[in-house]
Chain A
Amino acid sequence: MKILALIGNTYKESVRQPVFFVLLIGGAILIYTSPFYTLFAFGGETKMIKDMAFATITVCSLLLALLSASTVVVDEIESKRLLTLISKPLTRSEFIFGKFIGIIFSVFMAMAILTLIFVLTLWQIGELEPMIFRGMILIYTKVALLTAISVAISTRMPVIVNIVICILLFILGYLNNYFFGFFEGRTFFVHSLGRVFFTIIPNLENFNVAAAIAVGTPVSIRYLLSTILYGIVYMVIALLIAITLFQKREVA
């Protein structure tokens, strides 16, 4: 019950931030007006609209998640609320978990609204297809994964450092396959080292099916479930790290 109260409070704090509305409105406008930017798509208008919408929803949700998650511990310490919270029968693990769930719930609401705008845009041009929802589920899993990492970093690092690390991980996560190819065919030691390194960095390309959906390639349930499982395992790892780091953190 206590954790539900924390989740509810975190959600309310997140959606009341001005940046929530700015990102939501900005993203909605970009998605809804995207058919006007496809003058030079030369027959690939629908593909471009879908590509742009997926990218916009990813970026908006991610920014929202990072801005909330990076301040999740720091703000509570600075406002002296954390000491009150964890001095009551609310464990540090429950605090981390509750904050995480609250943030991803607010991200879910933002994504739901942007997805609705996307669906409306596609419906208006007669190109609506159910596969886009699978793409959205994968985007949500990806954003939740990065949120978990940001929450873990926020237990020890300030806001700016947190955001920089997360953006770096975001870029490296997409280039994971690209860099991993450098290690293919090298010596066993180099290959194994590369493999370990790129296992630690989450492979965000797994969640990127926008290009496939844009050209009408179906995404199977098998793929969807495997990728969601991948995301969940990473989230669990990140939250375990967050809890471990937070256990020893001075909060007074």
Chain B
Amino acid sequence: MKKMAFYLLFIILFASLIPLQERINRLREEEKLIEVEIFEATTPSDVWGTLLLGGFRGIAVNILWVRAMRLQWIEEDFLELVALYGIIQALQPRFALIWSFSSWNMAYNIAGQVDTEEEKWKWIQAGVSDLEKGIKRNPGNFRLLLELGWFYFDRMGGEAVRRPDAPFHRRQLQKKGRDHLYMALYWFERAAKVEKDTIIAGRAVAQVFERLATRAEKEGQLEKKVFYQKKTLERWRRNLEIDPDDAASQRHYQRWREKIYMER
């Protein structure tokens, strides 16, 4: 009888853990104690990199960063930097700058050094994935969102004079059913939602709309051209509402207003 009561108590206690855990998960999401999906809440590197090292983490991070700065600015050994940045990411996963440095290193530094277009594309994709991982670990980080948009806008969308390999990258992206300008727009708009009071992302969004309008014009798609021209003007106007003294916004707004007026 006593044993039965004991086992029953056991089962009741274990069973009570399930609704309790669900409540805790719900509270963690509501109170933003954890911002990423439950699946990504903790990775193995979080355990060994942050928890088990304890107070030694700071010492390790300092040593690694000193080495990283040396590799970046003096030795320019960008390949070794990839491995080093990977370790720093494990130690400082919620430090957004490391994801920015690491992805830039892959998509710009290493991609700039390799010879063939296929290799360049491989490193650009690696940089994009790295940045996407960084955004998952640091959702809502303005800098990372803006940078990913910039990768699509500049690295893949740059003019042929500055980026002779850009048309190849755009074709590769199209094979995946994606357009570099729409991707750039998506990430810039996400960044703009995070920082509503600055116009950095707003300017980027407006510039994407400008490119979309220009592209539609070149392709002879009149409706799209008008649509994007309107969007361009709206966005520059919104930028001026945020910062009326911004010279770039004033210039672009004026130019596009005149262009649309002349075309009508």
Contact = CB atoms under 8 A, between A and B. Distances in A.
Interface of A: 27, 30-31, 34, 37-42, 44, 47-48, 51-53, 55-56, 58-60, 171, 174-175, 177-178, 180-181, 184, 195, 199-200, 203, 205-206, 208-209, 211-212, 217-220, 222-223, 226-227, 229-230, 233-234, 236-237, 240, 244
Contacts of B33: 209, 212, 217, 219, 223
Given A31-B55, A211-B94, A237-B13, A205 B50 contact: no
4 closest residue pairs by CB, A with B: A37-B58, A181-B39, A30-B55, A40-B65
A1 B37 CA distance: 49
B31 A223 contact: yes
B23 interface: yes
B20 to A, nearest CB: 5
Contacts of A59: 51-52, 54
B261 interface: no
B95 A42 contact: yes
Given A30-B56, A31-B55, A55-B53, A177 B41 contact: yes
Central interface residue in A27, A31, A181, by most chain B CB within 10 Å: A181
Central interface residue in B6, B54, B61, B94, by most chain A CB within 10 Å: B54
A34 B55 contact: yes
A30 B18 CA distance: 38
B38 A220 contact: no
B9 interface: yes
A52 to B, nearest CB: 5
A37 B50 CA distance: 14
Interface in B34-76: 34, 37-44, 46-47, 50-59, 61-62, 65-66
7 contacts: A48-B58, A59-B51, A59-B52, A59-B54, A219-B31, A229-B20, A240-B13
Contact of B27 (A220, A237, A244): A220
B97 interface: yes
B10 interface: yes
A52 B54 CA distance: 6
Nearest to B51: A55
Contacts of B50: 51, 55
A56 B9 contact: no
Contacts of A219: 31, 33
Secondary structure class of chain A's binding surface, majority of residues:
helix
B113 interface: no
B116 interface: no
B42 A240 contact: no
Given A37-B62, A40-B61, A178-B40, 20 more contacts: A30-B54, A37-B58, A37-B61, A39-B62, A39-B65, A42-B95, A52-B58, A171-B47, A180-B38, A199-B21, A211-B94, A212-B31, A217-B32, A226-B27, A230-B20, A230-B21, A233-B17, A237-B14, A240-B9, A244-B6
Interface of B: 6, 9-10, 13-14, 16-18, 20-21, 23-24, 27-28, 31-34, 37-44, 46-47, 50-59, 61-62, 65-66, 92, 94-95, 97
Given A40-B62, A236-B13, A174 B46 contact: yes
A98 B232 CA distance: 73
A213 to B, nearest CB: 9
A34 B44 CA distance: 24
Central interface residue in B6, B10, B24, by most chain A CB within 10 Å: B24
B103 to A, nearest CB: 16
A184 B55 contact: no
Contacts of A220: 27, 31
A203 B59 CA distance: 29
B52 A178 contact: no
A204 to B, nearest CB: 9
A42 B97 contact: yes
Given A52-B58, A205-B41, A227 B24 contact: yes
A199 B14 contact: yes
B24 A206 contact: yes
B31 A217 contact: yes
A177 B32 contact: no
Contacts of A31: 55
Given A59-B52, A199-B18, A240-B9, A177 B58 contact: no
